Structure 1
Amino acid sequence: MNFQHTEDRRMLADTLNRFVSEQYSFETRDKIARTSTGFSREMWGRFAELGIIGALLSEADGGFGGEGFDIAVVFESLGRGLVVEPFLGALVVGQAITKAGTDRQKTLLSKLIEGGAFAALAHDEPGSHYELSKVSARALPHADGWVLKGAKAVVQQGEEADVFLVSARTSGDDDAQDGISLFLVPRDATGLAVRGYRKIDGGRAAEVVFDEVHLGDDALLGGKDAGYATLEHSIGFGVLALCAEALGAMDVAKEHTLEYLRTRKQFGVAIGSFQALQHRMADVLLEIEQARSAVINAAAALGADRIARERALSAAKYSIGRIGTRVAEECIQLHGGIGMTWELPLAHYAKRLVMIDHQLGDEDHHLERYISLGRS
């Protein structure tokens, strides 16, 4: 199998890498991450003008990509710059609408691609521990629509979202795959409350509460009780995106650490000449290449049958969780105390690598899932 990127993807990566390096410096990113919104609407518009959001969706849906390697190329570049704009929400919600949306619901895709709307996934709940099927929020039939009750946790950029993709149970037990439905809920819906907070790795997230939110029938995405397959499919794109983002962040952490080893001197010589440190750095380089292989395998499997796809995604997320944490720890250790200072970009890359492990399932969760899928 040929894993070389097409010319279009190479051009996309070059364009995005150049924009991030020239227009999205660490100082700019840090300033954006500390704002009350947690990201920049201006930057989001500029990313949209470059076609970066469009690369996440297929040509049939108004984009020009949407395949596994398109996702990987974009998010690896975003990871290199620690970009905090809401790409993950646009990807996951966009893919869910692509898979199950009506023609009317799909009109939202053009707004996402143009940068005129923000979307957020509201699925995780307190105590769900990453299980996709564990949904306690309820949607009850009412008149010509639904009444939504429940709460969602750690909704990325939830304060600024124009629309939420919400999972709610319309039948069955709280941990059953059958009985989950998906809803597109506008930010201004009566009864919807959002409480935002800063994240330790930059940007913001929110807790979202639905207190008898009345929705029309047109808010239902896909069939009643049939939302699990769409949820699993769209979150799979998110898992690949996070893995690729982590790979980009690892590469930059590696580059910063190599530069430090070449320039930091002790006893009159660069510490990179010490054999013990060379061995540790060699281990880091090997681990990053293993992570790269895991991302390639996941991207290649994104269009495969469900079991092959989900196993490749879980294998990649497990590998990224383990390797990302090790790379963060080793790079900090090789820098010494300065590695933990706020002013040094490395500390922020390390935080992001650790936190990626906890998004959409940590390494323990995905190892268990990989094993269970092998028994299916």
Structure 2
Amino acid sequence: MDFDLTEEQRLLQDSLARLLADRYGFEQRKEYMKAPEGWSREMWSSYAELGLLGLPFSEEEGGFGGGPVETMLVAEQMGRAITLEPWLPTMVLGGGFLRHGGNDALRAEFAPKMVAGELLMAFAHTERQSRYDLHDVASTARRDGSCWVLDGRKGMVLHGDSADKLVVTARTAGERRDHRGIGVFVVDAGAQGVTRRGYRTVDGQRAAEVELSGVRVDGGAVLGDPADGLPLVDRVVDEAIAALAAEAVGAMEVAHNMTVDYMKTRQQFGRPIGSFQALQHRAADMLVQLEQARSMAYFAAMSAEEPDAAERRKAMAAVKVQIGRSARFVGQQAIQLHGGIAVTMEYAAGHYFKRLTVNDATFGDADHHVRALAEAGGALAA
């Protein structure tokens, strides 16, 4: 199978790599984290100038119609720099919902603003009781004339404190854990009845707790079928999992390289610790885990557009299992081989481990997806 990139894909990858190398060093990242929003608006504008924010949209909408491979390339570079900007919630999740479930009016209104970097989105789906189950929705949406009225609470909304629009799941019919009866709505973050409490996550990003109390949503702001929106949610989340896999690979690669370089310079017993065979074996095991994760990131990019929803879900579960296990091993070994310096805020290794840990927990950790695969009969048919 040919994994060579096209000239346009190489240009995209190289352009972003140069931008992040020039303007997203570790010390610069710490400065961006101190900004009021916890990330850099200036860098967001640079992403727009580079065309990254047009990735999910067609040329007619002002984008360039990128697919899963282009998303993978961007996500990997974002992972290498452990960027703080809301690219995943806005472009992968928000853009995915618009692309797959938005009507013409919503796309025409939102796409140009998103491409220009003027509109931020966030996906509000997790609830206190739901854990990783996308179908566990207690928030409600009831009809009121031509509008919908939403009530409920959402937690861990990535970059929900700075988003202009929230993509919210709410139950239009059925019981709390029914797979049908879930609607997907676009809610103005500043609408009456919307309350947000922002906070910093363990990996330096931002999130928010969101409360909806009698929030009115126009009937045209519904994404997909209000009576059966879960397939849309599954599809967009599967695309986000593919992006998260690539991001994790980028972070793991830097963590591994950083660790090997440290082993070459750290002296113990009068010689570099990298000269000890036991530590060489651990560094080699890190590389094996990294390459296994990279293969699964490629598999995720190839599977993201699989039309069979059941097969796509199994593929992404398998991806999350391997990526989660690899990320944990690489991150833990990076901490152990660096020693005490790795757990200080002034050194990058711990920050990469934190991002990998949060990456694993986003949309279900490895243990959750092992169970999902077992219930589905395994990744491959017997």
Q: TM-score range by the shorter chain?
A: over 0.9
- Give the unaligned 5+ runs of structure 1: none
- 2:99 counterpart residue number: 98
The 5 Å alignment of 1:38-57 reads 38-57=38-57
TM-score by length of 1: 0.97
Q: Secondary structure at the match of 1:14?
A: helix
Q: Which among 365, 368, 372 is matched to residue 369 of structure 1?
A: 372
Which residue of structure 1 lines up, in the alignment, with residue 333 of structure 2?
Answer: 330
C-alpha contact (below 8 Å) 1:298/1:309 kept by paired residues: no
Q: Does 1:196 align with 2:198?
A: yes
Deviations 1:104-157 (A, max 9, x none): 110212211111110000011112111010011000111221110000000111
Is residue 357 of structure 2 the alignment partner of residue 354 of structure 1?
yes
**CA–CA distance in structure 2, aligned partners of residues 360 and 33 of structure 1:** 24
The alpha-carbon deviation at position 174 of structure 1 amounts to: 0.7
For 1:98, the aligned partner's letter is R
Measure the CA separation in 2 of the matches of 1:267 and 1:41. Answer: 48
How far apart are the structure 1 equivalents of 2:2 and 2:377? Answer: 26
Q: Quick check: 1:93–1:121 contact (8 Å CA) kept in 2?
A: yes
In structure 2, what is the Cα distance between the partners aligned to 1:297 and 1:320?
11
The AA in structure 2 aligned to 1:53 is L
Contact 1:253 1:349 survives alignment (8 Å): yes
2:215 aligned with 1:213, yes or no?
yes
Question: Could you tell me whether the CA contact under 8 Å between 1:57 and 1:95 is conserved in 2?
Answer: no
Following TM superposition, the consecutive aligned residue runs of length 4 or more in structure 1 with deviations greater than 6 angstroms are none
Paired with 2:166 and 2:228, the residues of 1 have a C-alpha distance of 18
Residues of 2 paired with 1:60 and 1:98: CA distance? Answer: 13
Which deviates more from structure 2 when the two are superposed, residues 305-314 or residues 209-218? 305-314
The residue number in structure 2 matching 1:184 is: 186
1:340 equivalent in structure 2: 343
Give the superposition deviation at 1:61.
4.5
What fraction of aligned residue pairs are identical, expressed as a percent? 41
Q: Offset of 1:36 from its aligned partner?
A: 2.7
Looking at structure 2, the residues matched to 300 and 112 of structure 1 have their Cα atoms a distance apart, in angstroms, of 26
1:32 shift after superposition = 1.4
The aligned amino acid for 1:68 is P
Q: TM-score, normalised by structure 2?
A: 0.95
Counterpart CA distance in 1 for 2:377 and 2:227 is: 26
- Measured against aligned partners, the alpha-carbon deviations of 1:146-173 in whole angstroms (never above 9, x if no partner) come to 1100000001111111000000000011
Residue pair 2:341, 2:347 contacting (<8 A) in 1 also: yes
Q: Distance in 2 between matches of 1:372 and 1:6?
A: 39
How many residue pairs align between the two structures? 376
For the Cα contact (< 8 Å) 2:56–2:99, is it kept in 1? Answer: no
Q: Which of 152, 161, 166 is residue 154 of structure 2 equivalent to?
A: 152
Residue pairs, 1:92-131, within 5 angstroms: 92-107=93-108, 108-131=110-133
| 1:225 and 2:209 aligned | no
1:199-348 matches, cutoff 5 A: 199-304=201-306, 305-348=308-351
The answer as to whether partners of 1:328 and 1:350 remain within 8 angstroms in 2 is yes
> Which amino acid counterpart does residue 63 of structure 1 have in structure 2?
G
Segments of structure 2 that go 5 or more residues without pairing to the other structure are none
| In 1, Cα distance between equivalents of 2:281 and 2:246 | 26
* Cα deviation digits, residues 61-101 of structure 1 (max 9, x gap): 53224322111100000000011101111211111111111
The Cα of 1:268 is off from its aligned counterpart by: 2.0
For residue 318 of structure 1, report the CA deviation from its aligned partner: 1.2
Deviations 1:17-38 (A, max 9, x none): 1110111111111121233312
CA distance in 2, matches of 1:20, 1:265: 31
- Residues 1:145 and 1:61: Cα distance change in structure 2 (over 3 Å): same
Q: 1: CA distance between counterparts of 2:352 and 2:163?
A: 25
Distance apart, 1:282 and its partner CA: 0.5
Contact 2:99 2:107 in 1 (8 A): yes
